[in-house]
Amino acid sequence: MRENLHRFFRAARGAGVHVSPAESIDAMRVVAQVGVSDRAILRDALLLTLAKSQDEKLALGDCFDLFFSQPEPRQEQVEAASHDTAQETDQSPSPGASSDAGGGQPPEGLGPLAQMLLSQDRNAIAAAIASAAGAASLSDIRYSTQRGIFSSRILDAMGLQRLRDDLDELTATNPSLAERLRAALDALREAVRDTVSQGLALYAREEAENLRNEILRNAPLARIERRQVAEMRALIRQIARRLRERYSKPRKRQRRGHLDVRRTLRRNAAWGGVPFLTAWKRKHRDRPKIVALCDVSGSVAQVSDFFLLLIHSLHEVVDDVRSFAFSSHLVEVSDILETKSPEEAMREIMSKVGFGSSDYGSALVGFEKEFMSTLTPQTTVIVLGDARSNNLDPRADILRRISERSKRLVWLNPEGRLAWGFGDSEMPRYATFCSVVRQCATAQQLERAVSDIVATYQ
Amino acid sequence: MADQKASTSIEAVESGLAAQGYIASRQIATAVYLSQQIEKPILVEGPAGVGKTELAKAIAAWRGMKMIRLQCYEGLDEAKALYEWKYAKQLLYTQILKDKLGEVLEGAQTLHAALDQLHDFGDVFFSKEFVEPRPLLQALEQPGGCVLLIDEIDKSDAEFESLLLEILSDFQVTIPELGTVSAITPPTVILTSNSERDLGDALKRRCLHLHIGFPEQRLEERIVESRVPSISQTLRRQMVGFIHEIRTLDLKKLPSVSETIDWARVLVLLQAFELDTEIVKDTLNVLLKYEADIEAAAPQVTTFMAKAARSNVFG
């Protein structure tokens, strides 16, 4: 049973539930308390100890059902196979062998696996598969391409070689028995394949997911495929959660050594002003105020989309976000992003300002005229765009004024550094007024960029 | 053998809580039983009004133990949760000491001896005499054990969570001047949370995690039956069915068990025998707490009532 539980913990980790050693010890203690005979109680007990949130409970519940339902289908299959063989033996000329479903007396001199298959002892077969799966360390399976090798490993561990020899021998001496054995072997192969598939579903999920996320993180956002957009949104949400957890920690920190005289006097008024309790001055940390200007023309649009999604899911970390989108003229889009779902919001933004050729100069003019007053010395301004202004006046002077009014000016460019300054790219001219210029083409770069911006306020 | 014992004990928990008017689902009973067996706190999460706090009260009443409640809020700190020194008393004693200083130091020939005598005296000031125990320390000092309810832990600051860790895992606290105070009898600890913010992993790891959602229809009927016995069976069926229909709507705040019970009381007071559209519309404000929700639900009342009635006939 302990073996089984350990494998269940591995499967749980595969399903995305974090099971630490301490938790597995707790689970062991709990199982020792409630026993294993009542599955419903066992399920409740494991869910109580291992899962730490509602999502984890659901995942773990599914995992539990999959894991502990394993023995059943396997038995049915062997049973179905045994029906087939039973029918065959009915038709065979020796009625004595068909009297009990297994054909009671397997001939002498066969290997243990052959004997087991012929005796139709389902429990024994299931147990043999389970132990062979253990010997072949099925729980190490990681990728679906490994299915074949694990199946053959399990069969080898069960003694397939010996069975083949027996089969060859029987074909010569006792063809009907050989036929039965062959059918049983096919059923066994099927059962083993199912076991391996289940093993894959249980143990390999985590690895596969990590791999996929890793690829997704480093894929260029601008050229992402349509079917991956939803996955990417999920990934961005995950990134947002991570950033939230990292940066929404307490914002007050005591500054030792600076006495807050007023509060100290008030607090000690009860005992005649004798300062028993001291109160220290506290320093409040500001939360970031962000103004984001996003280019939504052409190839940059997709990156802007993900960037806006990320910025707007950082409520706990960021005090105030105002977003503006432009291709040739500029509009504020904060409200749209706050109230609508990401897909709808993006559609609306695109219908308002998208699909134009970009003109950074007129967008900056528009910003200065209407929204310059939103900038304070605490504001970080983020511009996201490729700085390709179609040879129109870049109005870098406005960018200088923006930079002077704000705390920092960060430019995120989805293009690679090599392309900056070539063709109609105005990047070098803009870069002189920016505190930071970074490339931002993949989810990973996006995360780093936003993380750095938030970190400057800590 | 152990299995038999476990399932009967879980049933015992269920019936024990039921005797206190708390109808527990199997999960809840299992959690209570396990927390008792392996001495771990229970962290209860779920929407407001499903009986998280009530659970602690029921356990205390069932076991005949005292319940100590610590309501969490932003800015709750050690001095209010754990212990505080009785400053005024200390000050008073200092004043007395000042007058008696001569007597205390009498007979001390050298400075060293005088200091020794003073030290003995000084230790008195930081002894148990001068500690004002707050809920957490009180809970550890109960000789017969108690139920410690730490309510709405998600409202407190992250620092407070760390403060709890020592109590939750070892049932002890460390007071710098006194040393470590261990529990005489480990208390049964229940923490509740509305998931307003994510709790730390360290805290979650130390607890059994129990999620109480909205109950099934049968269970909710039993809850109403035990809380409002005077309500007729048909009305009970109808109203619970109706509430289950309401919960399928997309509302700001879904009605939870406490609202169901309130509504049952209201219906009994109005001497209703059956649910009809008129009475539902008049009392909808008992169930729904936002104007927008009431507006969203009002047009659906007739459909829901028909649905609830139908499911009763067949269910």
| CATH number, position A366 | 3.40.50.410
d(CA B81, CA B277): 49
B10, HSE (Cβ side, Cα atoms, 13 Å): 23
Structurally, how many domains does chain A consist of? 4
**Alpha carbon separation from B235 to A289, B227, B258 (Å, rounded):** 55, 14, 17
User: Are residues B95 and B164 located together in one domain of the fold?
Assistant: no
User: Are residues A426 and A322 located together in one domain of the fold?
Assistant: yes
Residue A424 lies in a domain: yes
Q: How far apart are the first and last CA of chain A?
A: 50
d(CA A12, CA A4): 12
CA A26 to chain centre: 26
User: Are residues B159 and B207 located together in one domain of the fold?
Assistant: yes
Residue A227 lies in a domain: no
Buried b (16+ CB within 10 A) or exposed e, B18-48: bebebbbeebbbbbbbbbbeeebbbbbbbbe
Q: What is the mean pLDDT of chain B?
A: 86
| Residue to substitute from B26, B27, B39, B250, interface A, most A β-carbons within 10 A | B27
User: Are residues A123 and A9 located together in one domain of the fold?
Assistant: no
User: Are residues A332 and A383 located together in one domain of the fold?
Assistant: yes
Q: Is the pLDDT of residue B147 over 90?
A: yes
Contact A48 B31 (CB under 8 A): yes
Residue A48 lies in a domain: yes
Closest chain B residue to A58, measured at CA: B211
Paired sense of beta strands A330-332 and A320-326, if any: antiparallel
Q: What percent of chain A has pLDDT over 70?
A: 87
**What angle, rounded to 10 degrees, do the helices at B2-19 and A39-50 form?**
70
d(CA A221, CA A446): 10
| Residue to substitute from A24, A31, A42, A49, interface B, most B β-carbons within 10 A | A49
**Gap from A138 CA to chain B (nearest CA, Å):** 29
Contact A36 B158 (CB under 8 A): no
Q: ipTM of this model?
A: 0.80
The arithmetic mean of pLDDT across residues B151-160, rounded, is 86
Closest chain A residue to B3, measured at CA: A35
Range of the domain at A386: 289-455
* Chain A contact present for B32, CB below 8 A: no
Q: Is the pLDDT of residue A85 over 70?
A: no
User: Are residues B11 and B148 located together in one domain of the fold?
Assistant: yes
User: Are residues B238 and B298 located together in one domain of the fold?
Assistant: yes
What would the two tokens of residue A114 be? Answer: 């052959």
Q: pLDDT by residue (tens digit) across A283-341? A: 666 677 888 888 888 768 888 888 888 877 776 677 788 888 888 888 888 888 887 77
Residue A145 lies in a domain: yes
User: Are residues B28 and B154 located together in one domain of the fold?
Assistant: yes
Q: Which residues contact B196 (CB under 8 A, 6 or more apart)?
A: B154, B155
Residue B45 three-state SS: strand
pLDDT value for B3: 52
| Residue to substitute from A1, A23, A24, A33, interface B, most B β-carbons within 10 A | A33
User: Are residues A341 and A278 located together in one domain of the fold?
Assistant: no
- From B131, B146, B167, give the residue that closes a domain: B131
Residue A108's pLDDT band (boundaries 50, 70, 90)?
low
Residue A243 lies in a domain: no
Residue A437 lies in a domain: yes
Structurally, how many domains does chain B consist of? 3
CB atoms within 10 A of CB A63: 25
Buried b (16+ CB within 10 A) or exposed e, B87-96: beebbebeee
User: Are residues B172 and B28 located together in one domain of the fold?
Assistant: yes
User: Are residues A141 and A164 located together in one domain of the fold?
Assistant: yes
A66, A32 contact by CB (below 8 A): no
CB atoms within 10 A of CB A59: 18
Residue B235 three-state SS: helix
Contact B30 A33 (CB under 8 A): no
User: Are residues A273 and A318 located together in one domain of the fold?
Assistant: no
d(CA B81, CA B87): 17
User: Are residues A30 and A156 located together in one domain of the fold?
Assistant: no
User: Are residues B139 and B22 located together in one domain of the fold?
Assistant: yes
Contacts of A315 in chain B (CB under 8 A): none
Residue A232 lies in a domain: no
User: Are residues A326 and A431 located together in one domain of the fold?
Assistant: yes
Range of the domain at B241: 217-314
Contact A38 B7 (CB under 8 A): yes
DSSP per residue, A15-35:
TT----HHHHHHHHHHHHHH-
User: Are residues B221 and B202 located together in one domain of the fold?
Assistant: no
